[in-house]
Chains A and B, each alone.
Chain A
Amino acid sequence: MADTTLLAVFQDIDPAANAIEKLHEMGITDDQINVISGVPVAHRMLGRPHPHTNVSRLSLGGAIAGFAFGFFLNFGTPYLYIVPVGGQYITPIPPGMILLFEMTMLFALLATFLGVFLDSYFPNYRPMEYVAEVSDGKIAVFFKVPEGDQKKFTDAIGKLGAESVKRAEAQQL
């Protein structure tokens, strides 16, 4: 039987956390639940698993790539295009440190920025399940339930203080 996604909107964190706990009791697993909010809510407040992110790994990757690029610019290209400067080494190390530092930081920052885009699938202009009240401070919990059990879940979550529980529909943001 196909799953239906329900959307429950809460005024505050406490009833949302209680509702998530209830969903767990009713057999809904964490990967079937998604929470959206207008401010970052720590995962432990809602009893949710720690969200995974690749951003820090990408930052590190960017830093390594930047260091390598800086190294190439600094110690490689002078041999490709020799610029004789009276009495100086072709590749002196102390000034090279500056280039290495700047390139490492630049690539790390770029990779971090792009990491947010990659991990969050930005930009994404397709219709998505959303409720605009979230930006006014409310908390929305999306959860997948079996098609026939819709009413059972709606009643259970409604009793825990949800302002509304309804079928979630994708909309153009």
Chain B
Amino acid sequence: MTATSKYFSGTEKPHETQHEEEHDPRQYLMYDPKPRGEMNAMVMESMLTTSWKFWVVFGILSVLVATCFFYAWGYMIAEGLWVAGVMRPSYWGIFLVNTVFWIGISHAGTFISAILRVFKAEFRRPFTRAAELMTTFGLIQAGASIFMHLGRVWLAYWLFPLPNARQLWPNFHSPLMWDLLAITTYVLGSTMYLFLPLIPDLAMARDRSTGWRKVFYRILALGFRGTEGEWRHLQTAMNFFAFAIIPVMFSVHTIVSWDFAMAMRPGWSSTVFGPYFVLGALHSGMGAVAVVLFIMRTTMKHMDYFIRKEHFDALGKLMLIVTFAYSYFFFNDYIVQWYGGDRWTDTLLHWLEEGPMAWMFYQLIFFNLALPAFTLWNRKIRQTPWLLAIIGLLINLGMYWERYLIIPVSLTINRMPFTWKLYEPRIEIFLTIGTFSMFLLFYMIASRLIPLVPVWEVQEGQMTHTLRKVGKAHVPTVSEFE
């Protein structure tokens, strides 16, 4: 009786109806097409609709960027690095923690866009751009953090191979120079990779805009019309980028890991640091993508059409796989050091487990290993956007702690106990808030200026997906257009 009344009141559906709904292909974006003009209008409206809440958040972030980023950095430049907490033995502090963290965040954009494009994973289509933007904006913060770390930032050009009166010449065999070259390659490569697929959408926006926006989009669209030749050149380039940017992506975080692994220090000298860092980067980047997609879906108009539960589900599965891979490397790195029996490494490991920063170590294990591994098995959790976003956020917190433990904490426990002193960040805290605020601010500005959903890619995908009748069922079918 209860079940019947629930059925008639609409709160519970009979099993068959539920079954049909679960298999309703229209729940998937690729099988729920809309006319292209309507999709264009939706994306344009999402850019042009701005509520007062947007401006409040925008204002707060602008103030934070002005004070915590520009003012604090200017103050540090004027006063010198003594206003920061970096000092013997931890000369590498939060600035480099932030650098590694932001480079890590930047990895998921390329990973999602390039690897999924290479493997033709269709679920990628609506959110590749949001992920690629994360790469560019994350790398800007990483670059800024390196310059902060330099202290005398006006001498940064000494890193470049420019003959000068003092005959300073960069040593290309130093891991720090590899960093410069790899990050420069990655910044330029990922920015170009972001821009190329954006051109057709900028042309679409140009055709639908007036006033200053028309001028803005006309300049950026470069005169794109969509001729056969233009598409061919664009697709050839995008395919090349998709393949070429993957090894660059792997090289960047591997080289970042070598900044540490090449030094014979307790906690740093490890042969698995390269892949361990790459997996860590993907782990934090995936989590950040989940957060970004959740914010986009909940705050921007019409985004619930483009970003659906299926996308969170697919992302959740990727996060689960990355969790296992990351766990494997984490354990591998840990047990080899633990088993090695080196006195100072043992001391460091005991310090991590029982010292004043042990809370970070245990949060790292819980947020990065246990939480995603035990929750993302569940489809309902994966398909609940806010839950996946919270898991993604906590993974990022754990990854930040991981970098903090690797850099200033590992530097504290060295082979000279008389130098041991726990690192205490000072102005770095404000500058960290500044970089996070700037990252968010860039996203907010981008959401008003460029289509965050690649409409042409979505439509291309919808054209290739059809339902084919096999027996009594309609079976999803994908055809190859290229």
Q: Which residues of A contact B (CB under 8 A)?
A: 34-43, 45, 48, 51-53, 55-56, 59, 73-74, 77-78, 80-81, 83, 85, 88, 92, 95-96, 98-99, 101-103, 105-106, 108-110, 112-113, 115-117, 119-126, 128, 130, 132, 134-137, 173
Q: How far is the CA of A71 from the CA of B192 in the complex (A)?
A: 25
Q: Could you tell me if A135 and B189 are in contact, using CB atoms closer than 8 angstroms?
A: no
**Does the CB pair B185–A135 fall under 8 Å?**
no
Q: Which listed residue, A81, A92, A134, A136, touches B225 by the CB 8 Å rule?
A: A134
B172 interface neighbour in A74, A101, A125, A136, Cβ under 8 Å: A74
Known contacts: A40-B235, A77-B169. The answer to whether A56 contacts B240 by CB under 8 A is yes
Given A39-B463, A102-B251, verify A137-B227 contact (CB < 8 Å): no
CB distance from B227 to the nearest CB of A (A): 5
Chain B residues with Cβ below 8 Å from A74 are 172
Q: Is the CB of A137 within 8 A of B37?
A: yes
Chain B residues within 8 Å of A122, by CB: 222-224
Q: Does B5 contact A (CB under 8 A)?
A: no
CB-based contact A55/B196 at 8 Å = no
B372: interface (CB < 8 Å): no
In the complex, whether B231 has a CB less than 8 A from a CB of chain A is: yes
Residues of B within 8 A of A (CB): 35-37, 40, 161, 163, 167, 169, 171-173, 177-178, 181-182, 184-185, 188-189, 192, 195-196, 200, 203-204, 206-208, 218-219, 221-237, 240-241, 244-245, 247-248, 251, 255, 456, 459-460, 463, 481-482
Question: Of all chain B residues, which has the CB nearest A102?
Answer: B181
The residue on B at minimum CB distance from A122 is B222
| Other A-B pairs, 20, CB within 8 Å; known A40-B456, A77-B172 | A34-B228, A38-B456, A39-B460, A41-B481, A48-B228, A51-B228, A52-B232, A53-B232, A55-B236, A80-B169, A83-B169, A92-B173, A98-B181, A98-B255, A102-B251, A113-B196, A115-B233, A123-B223, A137-B35, A173-B206
Q: Is the CB of A42 within 8 A of B482?
A: yes
Q: Which of A51, A55, A83, A85 contacts B237 (CB 8 A)?
A: A55
**CB contact between B196 and one of A52, A101, A116, A126 (< 8 Å): that residue:** A116
- Asked whether B222 lies within 8 Å of A124 as measured between CB atoms, the reply is yes
Contact yes or no, B173 A88, CB < 8 A: yes
Q: Which residues of B contact A125 (CB under 8 A)?
A: 218-219, 223
Determine if A105 and B228 form an interchain contact, defined as CB atoms under 8 angstroms apart: no
A134 contacts B206, CB within 8 Å?
no
Is B240 touching A112 in the complex (CB atoms < 8 A)? yes
Most-contacted residue by chain A among B171, B192, B240, B460 (CB, 10 A) = B240
- Distance in Å: Cβ of A90 to nearest Cβ of chain B: 9
- Smallest distance from the beta carbon of A5 to chain B beta carbons, Å? 13
Is B222 in contact with A109, judged by CB distance below 8 angstroms? no
- Are A36 and B225 interface neighbours, CB within 8 A? yes
Q: CB-CB < 8 A to B185: which residues of A?
A: 102, 105-106, 109
Complex contacts, B207 vs chain A, CB 8 Å: 132, 135, 173
Alpha-carbon distance A113/B234, docked complex (angstroms)? 9
Interface pair B188/A51, CB less than 8 Å apart: no
The reply to whether A37 and B244 contact each other, CB–CB distance below 8 Å, is no
Q: In the complex, A40 Cα to B224 Cα: how many Å?
A: 13
Q: In the assembled complex, how far is the CB of residue B409 from the closest CB belonging to chain A, in whole angstroms?
A: 28
Are A112 and B40 interface neighbours, CB within 8 A? no
| Bound form: Cα–Cα A137–B36 in Å | 5
Closest Cβ–Cβ distance, residue A117 to chain B (whole Å): 8
Q: Decide: A73 and B161 in contact? CB cutoff 8 A.
A: yes
Which B residues touch A124, using CB under 8 A? 222-223
Q: State whether B226 touches A109 (Cβ < 8 A).
A: no
The CA-CA distance from A53 to B227 in the complex, in Å, is 13
With both beta carbons as reference points, the residue of chain A lying nearest to B458 in the complex is identified as A39
Q: Which A residues touch B230, using CB under 8 A?
A: 120
The contact sample of 28 A-B pairs, CB cut-off 8 A, is A35-B228, A36-B225, A38-B459, A39-B460, A51-B231, A51-B232, A52-B232, A53-B232, A55-B236, A59-B244, A77-B169, A83-B169, A92-B173, A98-B255, A101-B251, A102-B181, A102-B182, A103-B181, A110-B192, A112-B244, A113-B192, A113-B196, A120-B229, A126-B223, A135-B203, A136-B37, A173-B203, A173-B225
Give the shortest distance, in Å, between B44 (CB) and chain A (any CB): 11
Look across to chain A and name the residue whose beta carbon is closest to the beta carbon of B220.
A123
**Leading 10 A-B pairs by shortest Cβ distance:** A137-B36, A124-B223, A81-B169, A136-B37, A51-B232, A122-B222, A123-B222, A40-B231, A135-B204, A132-B207
Could you tell me the distance between the alpha carbons of A132 and B203 in the complex, rounded to whole angstroms? 9
List the B side residues contacting A126 at CB < 8 Å.
223
* Cβ A36 vs Cβ B227 within 8 A: yes
The smallest C-beta distance from A149 to any residue of chain B, in angstroms, reads 24
A139-B215 Cα distance, complex, nearest whole Å:
25
Once bound together, how far apart are the Cα atoms of A85 and B172, in whole Å? 11
On chain A, the residues within 8 Å of B460 by CB distance are 39-40
A173-B189 in contact given A81-B169, A106-B184 (Cβ < 8 Å): no
